[in-house]
Amino acid sequence: MNRISVDLPMSSPLLPHHSQPARGVLAVVLIIAALIGTACARTAAPSDAPGAGARATAPTSVPIPIVAAENVYGDLARQIGGDRVVVTSILKDPTVDPHEYDSTVADAKAVAGARIVIKNGLGYDAFVDRLLAASPRPDRIVIDVGHLTGHRDGDNPHLWYDPATMPRVARSLADTLTRLDPSDADYFAQRLQEFQASETAVDDRIAAIRARHAGTRVLATEPVLDYLTEALGLVVVDRDGAFQRAVEAGNDPPAAAVVAFREQITTRAVKVLIYNRQTVTPVTTQMLALARQTGLAVVPVSETEPEGMTYQQWMLDQLSRLDQALSSP
């Protein structure tokens, strides 16, 4: 199924980055992976506990190479690590559905060279597990956000939309970086403090919207915003129902679910349609058109962080779009 996003506000005109795997590069990567694999075959699997897998005595070269499976965590790594880190983010293309992503040779190389890998977990970025397994490293630290925040497999994976998530990842990153580079402890502590200070604007905005709109019924094509709508006290109709689950998995929703979804729009039983412009199917496109036709407020949202924005700016932007839509007549 073709799931390329349609032309909507905020989508940047980036080309899909299908990198052509160069055979020579692939061969080198495989040989290196095999050599490392032989040397480290008996080491434990990467641990979820930051630092648990690192040898305290291993010298750390600065800048520390970090790979983030999702660019929202890559942004955070930059905010905390500053010029003491070099960050590579894998999922960042707004025209690609992250749920359908296939990793590239470049991703494999980046993971093989990373000292810290941040992954969302909960099956959202299972490709990272395969890349980690293909290039074992005893000194690599894996931050699994799902485990860090106490989630279990099967939980909604869009964890960065939970206001509680990013402060915890930020603390974990500051701790991990300090362990690897103790001489820059003050630097990381200072940057963590700056992040926490700017994060309060997001929390304040959520509290303000919740105070005005809690209990309002909304509709969503995909469960990307569930944690945020919960924090806002909004009621998502048929949350995590057949329609949303099918779209998330790239399938066609059952006919009855489509009928029910349409009815919510045409009868204006909801105030807003939250439209995931990164998990687009023919059915979601139809629902978007129907909402526009009916005059229902639509809030387009995305899975990856838009280029040129920080996490805080992105959240504030989406929150003000939501606020505006919820306040519409």
Question: Please, which residues bridge with residue 301 across strands?
Answer: 276
Q: Which is nearer to Zn ion, 204 or 240 (CB)?
A: 240
Residue 247 interacts with Zn ion (CB under 5 A): yes or no: no
Q: Which is nearer to Zn ion, 66 or 228 (CB)?
A: 228
Q: Which is nearer to Zn ion, 173 or 224 (CB)?
A: 224
Q: Which is nearer to Zn ion, 176 or 279 (CB)?
A: 279
Which residue is at the shortest CB distance from Zn ion? 224
The full length of the chain comes to 329
Per CB under 5 A, the segment of 1-9, 173-181, 218-226, 314-322 that binds Zn ion is 218-226
Q: How far is the CB of 13 from Zn ion (least distance, A)?
A: 22
Ramachandran quadrant class, 209 (left: phi over 0; alpha: psi -120 to 50; beta: rest)? alpha
143 phi/psi in degrees, rounded to 5: -100, 110
CA distance 135 to 131: 7
Cα distances from 236 to residues 187, 215, 230, in angstroms, run 42, 9, 8
Q: How far is the CB of 225 from Zn ion (least distance, A)?
A: 9
For residue 121, give both structure tokens. 């977990």
Q: How far is the CB of 261 from Zn ion (least distance, A)?
A: 17
Q: Of residues 90, 132, 177, 224, which one binds Zn ion by CB under 5 A?
A: 224
Helices (H), the chain: 23-39, 71-81, 105-113, 126-134, 145-148, 165-180, 185-213, 226-231, 242-249, 255-266, 282-294, 311-326
CA angle 257, 270, 272 (to 5 degrees): 105
Per CB under 5 A, the segment of 8-16, 37-45, 169-177, 224-232 that binds Zn ion is 224-232
Per CB under 5 A, the segment of 21-29, 102-110, 133-141, 221-229 that binds Zn ion is 221-229
Q: Which is nearer to Zn ion, 66 or 220 (CB)?
A: 220
CA distance 255 to 283: 10
- The single residue listed with the structure tokens 């390329």 is 4
Site string for Zn ion, 176-215 (x = CB under 5 A): ----------------------------------------
Q: Binders of Zn ion: how many residues, by CB under 5 A?
A: 1
Q: Which is nearer to Zn ion, 139 or 230 (CB)?
A: 230
Looking at residues 140 to 179 of the shown chain, list those that interact with Zn ion (rule: CB under 5 A): none
- Strands of the sheet containing 85-91, edge to edge, are 85-91, 64-70, 116-119, 141-144
- The single residue listed with the structure tokens 């995305």 is 302
Q: How far is the CB of 189 from Zn ion (least distance, A)?
A: 34
Q: Which is nearer to Zn ion, 142 or 225 (CB)?
A: 225
- According to DSSP, residue 200 is labeled H
Residues at the interface with Zn ion (CB under 5 A)? 224
